[in-house]
């Protein structure tokens, strides 16, 4: 049986496998893990300059590791990511504002450098998944405590997020260190399934208590942001987790009960949700704002931005305007409706199509489908990445629901957690392909 052909793009890897580099190589994985833990813990706490330095350090560490590591075959997820990067490069080259698009391309490449380092580290030593999650939960705990404490301080600043033209006028929303309740909610949304899996996966009472505290405070803080998209995403995450755990827990049951029990759990959850919506006043007010249509100022604003985004896609359907918010900020004023300024398309599918055209949207959908397929495959198995795959499926559901009406995902505080989830799947695929990760 012939060895797999090494892709041309990867043939530079492993060119520094000299004896002099081995001493450094023994410590590179430890350094990489510590940098990634610092990055993930500091997402809501470190300044943008500090995050940029940690992201740059991650990319450089990946280059050093790649120069020492022989290349392997590209997985399906990696091929889709390379396709997205290639489309972003083309979109930058043909952008009407190439300099602004180049900044977005550089930002995307830097995030992918973090993804590549995570993938390499997790595929080599799976124990770092737990350590990175622990770092995430530590940063989340600090952020949640700061956010919840805002309720007991001066509420003048919190009041600036209460829209007087909304049916939810008067609602007090926390934002913690992220200065935006929607961003805080978007940051918390992908962490909560990771906290739940850590609670199920970690041994020892102290570790489980740490994960449980992060989970409880995270849910409380997310609810107090009053972010409607994040609330719907949280419901989607809970439904996915309950359904998948019920399916796994009833595998040995009779066929009828295997079908009935998950359905009953979903129906019970839906009934509980209806009771909460009808009986809890703040929740009822926020849900009512969802169906208020243009009568709610937030809804009206998003509808106008979406219409402008559709016009942008119609004007440049094949390669878009180029990646990044700088390119969007320069082109959007040509299409915007009067008095409706926006920094993004407020919808992930629309944002992908605006930046890289219809091919960019299709590539994003391709990565989503490939990730779900890999996550389901890992969840069905009993490997080291089985429970993490459960968390990733829930994260995809939650961010997907929220991303239909917001683009918080493209902020580094959220996007890097998303890339960590994708790296988990890619590392799991590498493990399934025959590479045995070091658990210690």
For residue 186, CA distances in Å to 19, 34, 394 come to 46, 25, 14
Segments in 226-296 forming alpha helices (H): 228-249, 255-279, 281-290
Rounded to whole angstroms, how far apart are CA atoms 228 and 254?
39
Segments in 10-97 forming alpha helices (H): 19-41, 48-68, 76-93
DSSP 360: H
Q: Which of 351, 283, 286 is closest to 323 using CA atoms?
A: 351
In the prediction, which pLDDT does 64 show?
Answer: 87
Dihedral angle at the C-alpha atoms of 295, 301, 302, 308, nearest 10 degrees? 130
Q: How many helices (H) and strands (E) does the chain have?
A: 15, 0
Rounded to whole angstroms, how far apart are CA atoms 378 and 268?
28
Tokens, residue 59: 């990319």
In the prediction, which pLDDT does 436 show?
Answer: 46
Q: What is the mean pLDDT of each run of 10 residues along the chain (440 residues)?
A: 57 60 71 96 94 95 84 85 95 96 96 96 93 97 95 66 54 87 96 97 95 97 92 92 88 78 82 76 68 71 91 95 95 87 91 96 97 94 91 96 92 96 93 55
Residue with structure tokens 């959908």? Answer: 365
Concatenating the DSSP letter of every residue in 167-186 gives TTTT-----GGGT-HHHHHH
In the prediction, which pLDDT does 153 show?
Answer: 72
Instruction: State pTM to two decimals.
Output: 0.92
């Amino acid at each position: 049986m012939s060895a797999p052909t090494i892709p041309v793009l990867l043939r530079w890897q492993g060119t520094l496998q000299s004896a002099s580099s081995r001493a450094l190589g023994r410590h590179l994985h430890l350094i990489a893990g510590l940098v990634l833990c610092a990055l993930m813990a500091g997402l809501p706490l470190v300044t943008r300059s500090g995050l940029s330095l940690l992201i740059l350090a991650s990319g450089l560490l990946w280059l050093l590791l790649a120069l020492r590591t022989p290349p392997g075959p590209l997985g399906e997820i990696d091929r889709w990511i390379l396709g997205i990067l290639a489309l972003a490069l083309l979109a930058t080259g043909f952008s009407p504002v190439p300099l602004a698009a180049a900044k977005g391309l550089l930002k995307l490449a830097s995030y992918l450098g973090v993804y590549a380092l995570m993938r390499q580290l997790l595929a080599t030593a799976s124990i770092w998944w737990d350590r990175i999650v622990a770092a995430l939960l530590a940063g989340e705990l600090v952020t949640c405590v700061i956010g919840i404490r805002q309720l007991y301080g001066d509420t003048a600043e919190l009041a600036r997020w209460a829209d007087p033209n909304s049916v939810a006028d008067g609602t007090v929303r926390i934002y913690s260190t992220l200065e935006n309740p929607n961003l805080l909610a978007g940051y918390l949304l992908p962490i909560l399934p990771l906290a739940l899996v850590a609670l199920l996966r970690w041994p020892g009472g102290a570790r489980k208590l740490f994960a449980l505290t992060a989970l409880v405070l995270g849910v409380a803080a997310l609810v107090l942001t009053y972010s409607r998209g994040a609330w719907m995403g949280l419901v989607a995450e809970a439904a996915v987790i309950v359904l998948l755990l019920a399916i796994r827990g009833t595998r040995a049951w009779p066929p009828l009960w295997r079908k009935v029990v998950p359905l009953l759990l979903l129906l019970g959850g839906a009934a509980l949700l209806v009771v909460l919506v009808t009986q809890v006043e703040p929740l009822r007010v926020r849900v009512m704002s969802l169906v208020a249509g243009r009568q709610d100022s937030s809804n009206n604003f998003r509808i106008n931005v979406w219409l402008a985004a559709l016009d942008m896609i119609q004007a440049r359907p094949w390669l878009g305007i180029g990646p990044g918010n700088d390119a969007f900020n320069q082109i959007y004023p040509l299409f915007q409706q009067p008095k409706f300024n926006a920094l993004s398309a407020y919808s992930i599918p629309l944002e992908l199509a605006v930046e890289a055209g219809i091919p960019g949207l299709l590539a994003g959908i391709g990565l989503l489908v490939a990730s779900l397929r890999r996550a389901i495959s890992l969840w069905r198995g009993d490997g080291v990445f089985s429970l993490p795959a459960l968390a990733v499926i829930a994260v995809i559901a939650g961010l997907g629901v929220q991303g239909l009406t917001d683009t918080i995902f493209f902020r580094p505080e959220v996007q890097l957690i998303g890339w960590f989830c994708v790296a988990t799947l890619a590392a799991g695929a590498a493990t399934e392909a025959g590479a045995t990760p070091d658990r210690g």
